[in-house]
Amino acid sequence: MNLRLFSRLKKSVPVSPAAAGAQTDAVTRVRVWPVVHAFGLDISDTSIEAMECEHQGTTLRLRSYNRVLLEKGVIVDGEITDPDRLQVALDELRASARPASFPHAAVVSLPESRMYMHTFEFPTSFTVKQIRSAITFEVEGVLPIRLEEMITDFVVHRSRDGSQQHVLFAAVPVRLVEQYMQALDRAGIEVVAFDAEAVATARALVGARSEPVLLIDIGGQRTTLLVVERGGVHGAVTLPLGGISVTEAIARAARLGNEEAEVIKMRSGLTDQTPVEVRASVEEQLKPLVHEIQQLSRAHQAHFGRTVQEIILAGGSALLPGLDVYLARVAERQVRVGDPFSVPSVQFPKTLSPEDIEWLQRGRLFFSTSVGLALRGTLRGSPERGVNLLPRARRARYLLWRENLTLTVLALLTVAAWTFLFLMLGISLLRAEFASRRLQAEAKPIRDALASARFSSASEQASTVNQEISLISAFSAEQADILPTAERIRAAIPLGIRLVGVLVEIAPGPQSSYRVRLRGVADTREQFLEFEQKIRHLPGVQSVESPLTNLDRPLAAPFALTLAVSLLPSPPSPSPSPVIP
């Protein structure tokens, strides 16, 4: 399984002001989710190809595609020389996409003519940091570049036996990346990854085959050779040789102009229909390519012990008639032209007409790179799935989405917690306010009653009664209890005697006795006299005053008696309760 390692080289490689400008790109919006879908965009000197694929279950389906030819001079040797016309072409590409429109996110290839690639080997004990430091010293010894002027990245593949780490290193000038980013930003295209053209082509034409395959991508000006095994690149060589070189060789041999030579190249190429001297000139031009095929094959055989048995041709110039037969003969290996729609199998939508499908099949090699880019775009987190030559700031935006998501979730939870606290505080304050208003409403009748004249009068009366109760309480505390005497008088009343009044007179201050006045009516004089005698003999009665008038009438005789009763100690009694108005 391939191990993806992301290198920023920020600790070991000095950064120039130009590189710093690109890396502090204006588009640094925080991203809190991974890139889930992107289309592939391949920009070359002569055309722009775009392809979008999507997974439907286990099937890979083409969703949208388009190809737009560029006018001469818009891009020269990978350099954007006319941004305005390029933007027009990009707008046309997106507007006329079929059968569906392209999304905003794109995986974009950078021109091979301006990219530097090399493979290194390191022991499995090397960490990412050690590989980064080692590459810093190794690169400048094998590639004619200065790292401070480059944007770099690398991916690591473990060898089949796990004893080595194969590192594919890629570098591209900062200035070139700035050009493409500005042009694509103006066109409203969000670049999530800058991929290597050759790597994307290998992804589409070779896939993850376990046996080694030599992929030859023949462009207009350069040819890239890659040894691909188990999805990893184990050898990469770039030659200053391409379709234009073949055209010029035919023009020299046939003494024709480039336009006539291009017609011969596309019509007969290396077949028997081409004149012998012209075919010999083309074969001479292709000798460096044959030499590198032999060199890479031998190097892979010597190093890994596995032989490259098959060569796959890619790029527009791979359609040169007879090229596959010629290379099979001189390289002594099986050679075929790649098909980007078969590895993996890409299903065409039913909305495409037979003419569109035929056009795609005939021009399939033009879409090799864009299909490889689109395959990467179908993967969740596509910026992390291979070489990514975006500037550091833009690249971090897509690679650090997990950290950004964590911080965002924590921030949202914090805001939610504070919002909940403020909400509960607000609810508590509202409840207190409602309770206060309810109490005020319940207290209003009481306040009104307290403020009324009737209550004032009742209050004064209650105050008077309370004063009397206080006096009685104070008096009772100093006097003896008279209830026993009253109970004995009540028990002494015989039949025929009716009391109509009892008055107890107790003088203020310490006393030894008190007076009790009895008034009533006796049925007969005899009954009165009997009652009088009982009263005189009651305990505590010191004397009884009975006026003679009590004996005036023999029947229904009214009477009045005055008793002097001695004071007896009384048990403590509870004080009367005050009256509350």
Q: Give the model confidence (pLDDT) of 157-202 as tens digits.
A: 777 677 778 888 889 999 999 999 999 999 999 998 999 888 888 8
CA dihedral 230, 234, 240, 241 (to 10 degrees): -40
Q: Are 200 and 181 in contact (CB under 8 A)?
A: no
CA angle (194 as vertex; 189, 195 as ends), nearest 5: 130
Cis peptide, bond prior to residue 99, ω within 30 of zero: yes
Q: How far apart are CA 155 and CA 170, in angstroms?
A: 9
Q: How far apart are CA 236 and CA 117, in angstroms?
A: 7
Tell which CATH classification among 2.60.40.3080, 3.40.50.300, 3.30.420.40, 3.10.310.30 matches the domain 17-241+286-399: 3.30.420.40
pLDDT for 107: 94
pLDDT in tens, 17-35: 433 443 344 344 555 556 6
* Helices (H), ranges, 40-169: 83-95, 128-142
| Nearest Cα residue to 152 out of 166, 135, 128 | 135
Q: Which residues contact 295 (CB under 8 A, 6 or more apart)?
A: 237
Instruction: Take residue 524 and report the two structure tokens written for it.
Output: 């007969």
- Say how many CA atoms lie within 13 Å of 53 toward its Cβ: 27
| Average pLDDT of adjacent 10-residue blocks, the chain of 581 residues | 32 38 44 73 92 86 92 90 93 91 91 82 85 83 82 82 80 92 92 89 84 87 84 79 89 87 87 87 91 89 85 87 91 90 84 88 87 89 84 76 71 91 92 90 80 70 77 61 78 84 77 83 87 86 85 86 76 51 49
For the chain, the average pLDDT equals: 82
Q: How far apart are CA 352 and CA 168, in angstroms?
A: 38
pLDDT for 12: 35
Instruction: Take residue 26 and report the two structure tokens written for it.
Output: 């204006």
Q: Are strands 164-173 and 150-158 parallel, antiparallel or unpaired?
A: antiparallel
pLDDT for 23: 38
Q: Is 57 exposed, middle or buried (0-12, 13-18, 19+ CB in 10 A)?
A: exposed
Q: How far apart are CA 488 and CA 151, in angstroms?
A: 125
The neighbouring-strand residues paired with 76 are 79
pLDDT for 185: 92
Asked whether this chain's domains 17-241+286-399 and 480-566 adopt the same fold, the reply is no
pLDDT in tens, 50-105: 999 988 877 889 999 999 999 989 998 889 999 999 999 999 999 999 888 898 89
Q: What CATH number has the domain spanning 480-566?
A: 3.30.1360.100
Q: Is 244 exposed, middle or buried (0-12, 13-18, 19+ CB in 10 A)?
A: middle
Q: Is 513 helix (H, G, I), strand (E, B) or coil?
A: strand
Q: Are strands 59-69 and 346-347 parallel, antiparallel or unpaired?
A: parallel
Q: Where are the domains of the chain?
A: 17-241+286-399, 424-476, 480-566
- What number of residues does the chain have? 581
